[in-house]
Amino acid sequence: MAQNSFFMSWGALYSRRCAFPFHRTVLHRLALLLAIAIAAAMLSAPANAQYSLNNQPPNTWYPYAGNPASILNKKLPADVMSHRYTSPQGVSGDRIAQWVLTAGYTQSASGFTQLSSPQSDSLPGGNDMAHPIYYATSSDPWYWIVPSGVSGGATCSYFPKLNVRFHAPKQAHFSGGVDQNIVIFDQAQHLMISLYRSSFSVPQRTDGFPSCTATSSGAACKLTSSLGATGCDVQRTDGADRDWGWMGYETYGNYTIGGENFAASAGVLRGVELMNGINHALLLTYACSNANNSQVFPSTGPAAICGKNPNWLANSSSAPPNGALLFVDYTDAQITNMHLPTWQTNILRAMAHYGGYLTVTSGNGPLNVGSLNTNESGQAWADAGHGALGNPVYGWMENTEHIRCVPPGVTPGSSACRFNLYSLQNIPANIPGPTCSSTQAGSNQCGISKHIHIADPCVAKGLAGQAGACF
């Protein structure tokens, strides 16, 4: 896919997804993880919680905390530096992480993400590719993701067998960019529903769910093929479902889009987390996967393969596998002493405590931390009548963090306001670490490339309580 600028969509390339130093059996490890998960779920997701835009889940909440095999909400082991990755081709994870930092763009662009205003009244939202989250209750209408064979055609073209009835606010909207997402949290049924579609025409589609007054599951309003959804995820949030291992997209063209290995809304960076602290791993966008080493646990697919498309980066022995777990080795004290803005501090702490998984591919872009496709959209606030900048994180960005709103560009449908963030910029280069000496730090040679690493997949397996764990 040709991309007009770094700030444009990843469009057709879109693909989805405790420090206990002991060596015991998988059964013992699962028992321990179960106890941790139950405690975490009790603290972060009370059963009687009724969330809404005015009563959002706190930053400590994680929808899949109740399942002991979930991994995004678990911290890296204290000895993670002892479990760094080396590829089957003999390339170190540190070298691969450095390639990810700079591939396609200069390092100054690395860590980019963007919060863009949604569509509201006459204001367009063409840069908004994030996930609007709608908190549905039993009083909301019933909708139906229909399977093939039902009049109107299957809702989800990549998953034509999916057959789910759920509550959702009437006429909820997708985000308005080239990549269009929507998330519904049906609290009455403990279901998290995520739908995706693409919209390449300019201006992009602005429609959402149809108007509906259905008060029973049997009378649910059909979401037919006209909705344009291709990929859909539906998982339970009551502990029945873990957050990894879902197949995601099927074969598309002559390459596989299968990198969406995480459950609906898992890892999405919400505004309340950006403001108050992030307690889960992040989802990272990167250029493409290594043609000879395309995926590692917990990935279920390679996503875009380097060199498979003439517009993508050529393959390299240093290109990463999809699913790789990146992390930084900074201590909390070092991050505090950087005196970075709050939003950047929170992202960096999350990368140090939980890391980030390579999931979405762009074909030729740099590393995105909390990418355009994995942030929370403000569309739900706009639908509720709060305007294009109704999401509180926008006001916080301007008034507290003093980040300037970028006005609309010349592209038709451009969002009214965009906040461009570069989470790996302005980090001091004089901080020593496990792979950068005090002498090097004294001459400012310890930039982010000396502090970013890739964990061996055995670490993620340990977090998941799977065989092959190394802690």
> pLDDT truncated to tens, each residue of the chain (471 aa)?
332 222 223 333 333 333 323 333 444 554 545 544 444 444 444 445 699 999 999 999 999 999 999 999 999 999 999 999 999 999 999 999 999 988 766 545 567 777 888 877 656 677 888 899 999 999 999 999 999 999 999 998 888 888 999 999 988 999 988 889 999 999 999 999 999 998 877 778 888 999 999 999 999 999 999 999 888 888 899 998 899 887 533 322 222 333 457 888 999 999 999 999 999 999 998 888 999 999 999 987 777 899 988 888 999 999 999 999 999 999 999 999 999 999 999 999 999 999 999 988 888 877 888 777 889 999 999 899 888 888 999 899 989 999 888 876 655 566 778 888 888 888 999 999 999 999 999 999 999 999 999 999 999 999 999 999 999
**For residue 416, what pLDDT is reported?**
79
Per DSSP, the three-state class of 433 is strand
Q: Are 279 and 73 in contact (CB under 8 A)?
A: yes
**For residue 177, what pLDDT is reported?**
84
Q: Are 155 and 197 in contact (CB under 8 A)?
A: no
Alpha-carbon span 223 to 459, nearest angstrom: 40
Residues whose CB falls within 8 Å of the CB of residue 209, separated by 6 or more in sequence, listed in order: 143, 168, 170, 171, 172, 173, 221, 223, 227
Alpha-carbon span 302 to 311, nearest angstrom: 17
Alpha-carbon span 135 to 137, nearest angstrom: 7
Alpha-carbon span 111 to 40, nearest angstrom: 29
Q: Does a cis peptide bond (omega within 30 degrees of 0) precede residue 298?
A: yes
Express the helix, strand and coil content of the chain in percent, nearest 5 each.
20, 20, 60
